[in-house]
Amino acid sequence: MTRKKDTIFFVILLFISLVVLSLNSPGRKNITRIKKVFSYLYRETSTFFSNMVFSVGDYLKASKLHKETFYENIRLKREIIKLKEENVLLRDFILKKGLKVPMKKGFSAIARVISWDLEEPYRTFYINKGNKDKIEINSPVVDEYGFLVGKIIEPLFPHGATVLLISNPEFGVGVKIGEKGVLGILFGMGMDKGIVKYIRLTTKIKIGDPVYTSGLDMTFPEGLKIGNIVEVKKGYYAIEAISDLKALKHNPRYVGILKYEKNR
């Protein structure tokens, strides 16, 4: 027991002696130098990694900017291709299809059909041109063959618009039928046919007669093609005729928007 105590006492004295010696010897300076070296290494290492992280951040930022620029460039190229396609289609409208009325009245724009009303496809569809393209409410819309598709209605956005289709029951347009120009008003029927009402009993029309806009409704120019008579119904006071709607049979992907002339 006494030996254990003597051993512990000896170790404590030895430790105290070493501490005193270190304080009074050149070894203290070495320890200080070592501390300075470690401190220097720590600072330099921290600075290196901080700069490295900053550089990586700059690299990632530059890489992201480059990536965004790359995709923006692709998007712009696609837009240019679309514009070229629309320009070709516009020339096709005017030069190849022989649209005398659209040539005379002029186009506001040529647009691509974005979407149809899936629940009621004979009512409306949406196009990719709007008031930024000088399109106005009630502007007539035709397909590439010159057949009347409908007219522009609200909502009208800067780069988008809704088209009320000629087949919509809410749609009405003044028409003339055949060579004699029998007058009537065509209404949509919610299908690829329309009904012409208010035809006088004394007039004569037959199946196959062409149907055109009359221009008397002050919205649509005279002479736009609609379709042909497929059925004639004679009533007590007037004749009703059914016309097919050629524009809907073509299922247009691109349409031309004519300039709406308020004082037509």
Higher pLDDT, 79 or 240: 240
Confidence check: pLDDT of 147 > 70: yes
More confident residue, 264 or 137: 137
Of the pLDDT bands very low, low, confident and very high (cuts 50, 70, 90), residue 96 is very low
Task: Please say whether the beta carbons of 145 and 246 come within 8 A.
Answer: yes
Residues 6+ apart with CB under 8 A from 219: 138, 140, 151, 173, 260, 264
Average pLDDT over residues 161-166: 94
Mean pLDDT, all residues of the chain:
76
The DSSP code sequence of 160-184 is EEEEEETTSTT-EEEEEETTTTEEE
Q: pLDDT band for 224, please (50, 70, 90 cuts).
A: very high
The CA distances from residue 205 to 77, 187, 200, 235, in Å, are 53, 18, 10, 14
The mean per-residue pLDDT over the stretch 130-156 comes to 90
State the pLDDT at residue 149.
95
How does residue 177 score in pLDDT terms, banded at 50, 70 and 90? very high
- How does strand 239-244 pair with strand 182-188? unpaired
Mean pLDDT of 167-177: 94
Q: CA neighbours within 13 Å on the CB side: how many for 44?
A: 6
* Residue extents of the structural domains in the chain: 2-54, 97-264
- pLDDT higher than threshold 80 for residue 153: yes
- Looking at residue 173, its pLDDT comes to 95
Tokens of 106: 């002029």
Hey, is 57 helix, strand or coil? helix
- Which residue would you say has higher pLDDT here, 58 or 145? 145
Reported confidence tier of residue 45, pLDDT bands at 50, 70, 90: low
Residue 19 above 60 pLDDT? no
* Percent of the chain whose predicted confidence (pLDDT) is above 90: 31
Total residue length of the chain: 264
CA distance 227 to 248: 10
- Residue whose structure tokens are 């990536």: 67
The band of 99, judged by pLDDT with boundaries at 50, 70 and 90, is: very low
84 CB neighbour count, 10 Å cutoff: 10
Task: Examine the pLDDT at 98 and tell me if it is beyond 50.
Answer: no
Which pLDDT does position 112 carry in this prediction? 87
CB within 8 A of 201, min separation 6: which ones?
234, 237, 238, 239
Q: What is the pLDDT of residues 77-91, one digit of tens each?
A: 777 776 666 666 665
Q: Give pLDDT, residue 104.
A: 42
pLDDT for 219 beyond 70: yes
In terms of Cα–Cα distance, which of 137, 133, 125 is closest to 163?
Answer: 125
Our measurement of the distance from residue 222's CA atom to the centroid of its chain's CA atoms, rounded to an integer in Å, reads 32
Query: Which one of 3.40.630.30, 1.50.10.10, 2.40.10.350, 3.40.640.10 gives the CATH number of domain 97-264?
Result: 2.40.10.350
User: Tens digit of pLDDT for each residue in 110-135?
Assistant: 888 988 877 788 999 999 888 888 88
Looking at residue 93, what is its pLDDT?
Answer: 55
Kind and range of the H or E run holding 100: helix 100-105
- Residue 161's closest CA among 136, 143, 142, 190? 136
Q: Give the residue with greater pLDDT, 216 vs 12.
A: 216
Task: Name the more confident of 68 and 103.
Answer: 68
Higher pLDDT, 31 or 76: 76
Those residues with Cβ within 8 angstroms of residue 29's Cβ, 6 or more apart along the chain or in another chain: none
C-alpha torsion 81→84→85→88, nearest 10: -160
